[in-house]
Structure 1
Amino acid sequence: MKLVSWNVNGLRACVRKGFLDYFNDVNADIFCVQETKLQEGQINLDLEGYHQYWNYAERKGYSGTAVFTKKKPLSVSYGVGDDESQDEGRIITLEYETFYLVNVYTPNSKRDLTRLDYRLEWEDKLYEYLKELDKKKPVIYCGDLNVAHQEIDLKNDKTNHGNSGFTTEERGKMTRLLDSGFIDSLRFFYPEKDDIYTWWSYMKTIRERNVGWRIDYFIVSERIKESLADSQVHSEIMGSDHCPIMLELHLPNREV
């Protein structure tokens, strides 16, 4: 089973830059997107063979998530009971027979950290939500999580300590999750490989020089680690300031 996640930073713009070429080429069983930045009726994607699930932000041109899946899930839910996260369209959960898929666009704590307290509250609620799901069946949690967990996950770690996305508090929330029965799939396969990034500033030559951050993840319940086949970063794919990431799984009963 192949899963893809991509912060498209505006789906309509990304479509104009080749989104559908990549979508068709990669042929994922489940394709998650974040930061769609559109409202219902503003795009018509003809994705033959896929069911489409959208979570739109109330604010126009902001946030939003979507999941495109070949197999219809047992159920779909939006948000985690938090009014603001639901207003911003940040979470979609799909339930399948043997796992939950949770697609997330985590709020940024902002450059001046004015939203850090809200971000930490969000992390606590999401942590409890993921743990509750994990009691029922394994979880695949993916998306733009807006944090570089370790120094290896960004180019300039020394000058970014304490900055948004690399604060001790945000990194600590990720550590807590990974210490409680979850696995960062990329680091499962490549624990010490550096220069693997998923986001780059639009500033000139930044991406060319690979001065980036790894802030997009596939995180899975530890008890399905034997099903992990590969975790990839498709940094060559343009169209957004993020690149797609991919997870391959071999589940005992093929779901999708």
Structure 2
Amino acid sequence: MKLVSWNVNGLRSVANKGFGDYFRAVGADIFCVQETKLQEGQIELDLGDEYETYWNYAIKKGYSGTAAFTKMKPLSVRYGIEENEEPEGRIITLEFEKFFLVTVYTPNAKRDLSRLDYRVEWEDRFRDYLVSLDKQKPVLACGDLNVAHQEIDIKNAKSNRGNSGFTDEERGKMTTLLEAGFIDTFRFMHPDRTDVYTWWSNMPGVRAKNVGWRIDYFIASERLAPLITVAEADCDILGSDHCPIVLELTID
């Protein structure tokens, strides 16, 4: 089974920059996107008849939002951590026979860290939610988690320490999540691999020089680890300030 996750930073924008070509070429069984930045009816995507589509729109126009496109019809679909409590459209949970799939766009702490307290509280609720799902069946959670967990996950660790996305608080919450029974699938497959990032600043020359952050993840229940065959980032795919990430595993 192949899964793809991509923070598209505006689905309407990336739709004009080759999204459809990549979508068809990658042939994912489940394709998740974050930061769609649109409302219902604002885009028409030709994904083919084989895909079911699910959307979680933010109340605020042009902000946040998630979507999931799947060849496998889910048993159930849930929006938000708690039903009807998620005005920023950040989470969709698809339940399948053998696993849960959660696509998530984690809140940013903001440059001035004015939203750090909210972010930390949100992380606790999200972890508790994944743990509760994991008690029922294995979990795959994917998306933009807005944190570079280890120094190996960011180009300039020393100068960025304490900045949004690389604070001790955010990194600590990722550690706590993994200690709750989950793995970072990329780091599980590539424990020492350097210079693989999923987000780059829009400042001139930054992406060409690969001065980036790895902040997009596939997180999996530990018991799924033996089933993982591929965990990669498609760093050469343009159209967004993030690149897609890919996970393949032997699960139906």
Q: Shorter-normalised TM-score: what interval?
A: over 0.9
**2-structure distance, mates of 1:74, 1:83:** 19
Unmatched 5+ residue regions in structure 1? none
**2-structure distance, mates of 1:210, 1:173:** 26
**2-structure distance, mates of 1:198, 1:176:** 22
Cα distance, 1:44 vs. partner? 1.0
**2-structure distance, mates of 1:52, 1:83:** 19
Unmatched 5+ residue regions in structure 2? none
Matched residue, 1:66: 67
**1-structure distance, mates of 2:235, 2:224:** 26
Matches within 5 A, 1:71-90: 71-81=72-82, 86-90=86-90
Cα distance, 1:81 vs. partner? 1.9
- Given the two structures, how large is their TM-score scaled by the length of structure 2? 0.98
Residues 1:57 and 2:58 aligned together:
yes
- AA partner of residue 245 (structure 1): I
Matched residue, 1:130: 130
Matched residue, 1:31: 31
**2-structure distance, mates of 1:74, 1:229:** 25
Matches within 5 A, 1:206-245: 206-245=206-245
Matched residue, 1:118: 118
**2-structure distance, mates of 1:82, 1:88:** 13
**1-structure distance, mates of 2:157, 2:42:** 39
Cα distance, 1:177 vs. partner? 1.1
Secondary structure at the residue paired with 2:135?
Answer: helix
Matched residue, 2:185: 185
Secondary structure at the residue paired with 2:54?
Answer: strand
Secondary structure at the residue paired with 1:104?
Answer: strand
Matched residue, 1:148: 148
Instruction: Give the % identical residues.
Output: 68
**2-structure distance, mates of 1:42, 1:244:** 23
Secondary structure at the residue paired with 1:66?
Answer: strand
Matches within 5 A, 1:91-110: 91-110=91-110
- AA partner of residue 35 (structure 2): E
Secondary structure at the residue paired with 1:113?
Answer: coil
Secondary structure at the residue paired with 1:136?
Answer: coil
- AA partner of residue 65 (structure 1): T
**1-structure distance, mates of 2:224, 2:160:** 34
Over the aligned positions, Cα root-mean-square deviation in angstroms equals 0.9
**2-structure distance, mates of 1:73, 1:221:** 19
**2-structure distance, mates of 1:47, 1:83:** 28
Cα distance, 1:179 vs. partner? 1.2
